[in-house]
Amino acid sequence: MLRLVLRLWPRLGAVALAVALVIPAIPASASPEDDLAQKREEAAVLERQISENGTRISILDEEYNVARIAIEQADAGIVQAEAGVADAEARAAGLSDRVAGRAAQMYIQAGAGPLAALETEEAVDLAARGAYGAAAAEQDNSLIDELDAAREDLNVRRAELEGERVAAQDNQAALTGMRDELARAQDVQEELLAGVEGDIAGLVSEIEAKRRAEDEERARQEFQRRAQEEAERAARTTTTTTTTVATVASAAAGDEDPAPSPPKAAPVVSSVPAPNANAQIAVDTALAQLGKPYQSAGKGPDSFDCSGLTGFAWKAAGVSIPHSSQAQYAGLPHVSMSEIAPGDLLFYGSPIHHVGVYVGNDQYVHAPQTGDVVKISSIFRSDFAGAARPG
């Protein structure tokens, strides 16, 4: 292993050394059994690091999407504020012109001749018009002041939005750097793994397969337990409804019908809409992307991240959802575990950082992580967070 690290060092740099140094130092093997144990430990460490880095990259990708949405919202707010400023300026300019014109007209009329030369009725009319003009000018000036204040408020809001945009851009840049660093570490680990002897690679696959099988079985049991609890709660609701209806029917019948036939149970009405034709379009679209590469912030058609894939699938069905797994889960109607149907979105992680499209038979289509492709996997994961239905 040390020879491999030294061979990779000139090309991989400090990141490679940092990754390699976390592999535990194990004494030289005294027997084939000890050698096998050492290889198993090294393989387990590498597999665990690769898995953990993949999760961290997925979380950073989700934070990157959230930062991108914040930038878009700030940009939209700035455009709206600028439009408001422009409107306020145009209205203020129009009022200023009107006030100036009215003042000029009053000045011209005042200089046309002495008031004594006017008839009394005309003088009264001129005075009334002068008073009206002065009042109108005062009102216009008040409106101009209000528009100036509104324009100032809009300028302040625009400055605040520009600050928010800068902060979001800085956060996005920092996340990009962190994500790229993790991706480089991931590449180093994978190259270390590929460069070791074949038996270690085989052991890694063996350990990973065993771990995934154990995790999937635990997740399956937890999933089924929670679904059973939901079904039992629904059954209790149905039983209560049935008993109530039977009691009311018996009381209404009185002595004329001492043994009425039991009524049918009232159906339990669900607030979650049933899947429609759009769900099938979303499933078909997601399945058509199998094998395409994962790419951070990718939204198709050639590459995807997890929320980019789900958004692409449902966009084909005419439903627009945000490019963020957290935003998708927060903004869509939730579905209980016992009610999930093809087309529903399944979410994972705490905080949520992964999502895929359920296709039935306990499987879903998803874009897993950097270095992987769009694939079908079991829905049973220990970090299952919930489900939602776009439409």
The one-letter amino acid code at 209 reads: A
CA atoms within 13 A on the CB side of 78: 14
What string of pLDDT tens digits covers the 391 residues of the chain?
A: 333 333 333 433 334 333 443 444 445 445 555 666 777 787 778 778 778 877 887 888 888 888 888 888 888 888 887 787 777 777 767 766 666 666 566 556 555 544 444 454 555 555 555 555 566 667 767 777 777 777 787 778 778 888 877 877 887 787 777 778 767 777 776 776 666 556 665 666 677 778 778 878 888 888 888 778 877 777 777 665 554 444 444 444 444 433 333 333 333 333 345 478 999 999 999 999 999 999 989 999 999 999 999 999 999 999 999 999 999 999 999 998 888 999 999 999 999 999 999 999 899 999 998 889 999 999 998 899 999 999 7
The pLDDT value recorded for residue 78 is: 81
Compute the distance between CA of residue 187 and CA of residue 250 in angstroms, rounded to an integer: 73
Do 379 and 346 contact (CB within 8 A), yes or no? yes
Write the DSSP symbol of residue 258: S
pTM of the model: 0.55
CB 153, CB 84: distance < 8 Å: no
* All residues at 6 or more sequence positions from 348 whose CB lies less than 8 Å from its CB, including other chains: 354, 355, 381, 383, 384, 385
Tell me, what's the pLDDT at 202?
A: 63
Catalytic residue among 306, 323, 334, 353: 306
Is 354 labeled as catalytic in the residue annotation? yes
Give residue 240's pLDDT. 55
So what's the pLDDT on residue 22?
45
Active-site position among 323, 334, 353, 366: 366
- For the question of residue 306 being annotated catalytic, the response is yes
Question: Quick one: which of 339, 383, 331, 333 has its CA closest to 358?
Answer: 339
pLDDT of residue 344: 96
**What pLDDT, on the 0 to 100 scale, is given for residue 289?**
97
Among this protein's residues, is 334 annotated catalytic?
no
| Residues 269, 275, 277, 279, Cα dihedral to 10° | 160
Residue type, 345: L
Per-residue confidence (pLDDT) for residue 302, from 0 to 100: 96
Note the pLDDT of residue 208: 75
Task: Please pick, among 323, 334, 353, 354, the residue that the annotation labels catalytic.
Answer: 354
Q: Would you call 375 helix, strand, or coil by DSSP?
A: strand
Give the pLDDT of residue 128: 55
Which one, of 197, 187, 190, lies nearest residue 1 by Cα?
197
Q: What is the pLDDT at residue 235?
A: 75
How far apart, in whole angstroms, are the C-alpha atoms of residue 35 and residue 28? 8
In the prediction, which pLDDT does 313 show? 97
* Strand locations in 209-348 (E): 334-335, 345-348
Is residue 292 a contact partner of residue 374, using CB atoms and an 8 Å limit? yes
Cβ–Cβ under 8 Å, residues 216 and 90: no
